[in-house]
Amino acid sequence: MIHIVFQHNDVEVLRKAFELEPSFQGEVVEIQDEFAVGPIAGIYSAEGIEARKQWWREVLAGGDYDGLVDNGNTGDDNSTVESLKQRLAEDAKEVVWIWAAQNKHDVSGYYWLMSQLKEFQGRVFILYLNNLPFINEKGQIFYPENLFTIPPKEFLKARKLARPITLSEFEIDPDEWNRLCQEDRGVRILEGGKKLSQYDYSYYDEELRKFITGDWIKASKLIGQFLGKARQTTGDAYVLWRIKQLVAAGELDVQGELKGMRDFEVRGKAAAAAAAVTVEEQAG
């Protein structure tokens, strides 16, 4: 049995669940890319794969994760899938369980992955924890948006939800993913169920501006406030890139080196100018 997850923190919690029930054990494979952002046109072609890698290089350039695409630490999701398909072809008893919670990251990864596994229909299972109640460590009912927030013991209940991806789903879901790939906008947001909507790369900018004032704020603190309070969030590397884009557009003042999130501070130009006028008026 091969378990597939889409977030690094999911790996550890699933392995802890295995310790509680040895018969539940299997290899855990992580799909590492974040398919809820970035270009997805021609995503399975050599050109599309390289275009996506190049986009990530540009997003990460000069930041805290600079070089991550090419230093070998991120793995190769395409090679992972080819290896998975080979194992399924060689062992007719092997099965795959795809784990996904109700978030844009998991659902985007699900579409990308399952669209490549149609030939193994009947041996590819989905565990989509969509609007399902679980019990947290305090004994309270909650509806998890991420697998890693589920206590390991609750996975023993969750495994009962495993079901084969149907032939109909193998027809419809790849069509939906293909539509998104052809539309190819920069940000994918989960609307509910498995429905993804797409927006421009600047989608998060409006919410990000709410945490920017006329006072200097360290980029790391700004990112922390956004991730902790915004209704829709994404990875810190993407948010850092968007801050740099706002600086490049002339919307923000900056001091320090425009590199990692702890290397510089920003403030809103318009807000700073308005504050300066107020100070002058009060002084006058």
Which pair of tokens denotes residue 265? 């501070």
- Render each residue's pLDDT in the chain as its tens digit; 284 residues: 999 999 999 999 999 988 888 887 899 999 999 999 999 999 999 999 999 999 999 999 999 998 888 765 556 899 999 999 999 999 999 999 999 999 999 999 999 999 999 999 999 999 998 878 888 888 889 888 999 998 988 888 888 889 999 999 999 999 999 999 999 999 999 998 899 999 999 999 999 999 999 999 999 999 999 999 999 999 999 999 999 999 999 999 999 999 999 999 999 988 767 665 554 555 55
- The strand pair at 163-164 and 124-129 is best described as antiparallel
Burial 85-104 (b: 16+ CB within 10 A, else e): eeebeeeeeebbbbbbbbbb
- The strand pair at 134-135 and 141-142 is best described as antiparallel
Q: What is the pLDDT of residue 279?
A: 47
Which pair of tokens denotes residue 267? 């403030």
DSSP letter at 125?
Answer: E
Could you give all domains of the chain from N- to C-terminal order, each with its CATH number? 2-180 (3.40.50), 205-283 (1.10.10)
Q: pTM of this prediction?
A: 0.91
Please state, in angstroms and rounded to a whole number, the distance separating the CA atoms of residues 203 and 189. Answer: 10
Dihedral class, residue 33 (left if φ above 0, else alpha if ψ from -120 to 50, else beta) = beta
Residue 270: count of CB within 10 angstroms of its CB? 12
Residue 113: helix, strand or coil by DSSP?
helix
H runs (alpha helix) in 21-121: 46-60, 77-90, 104-114
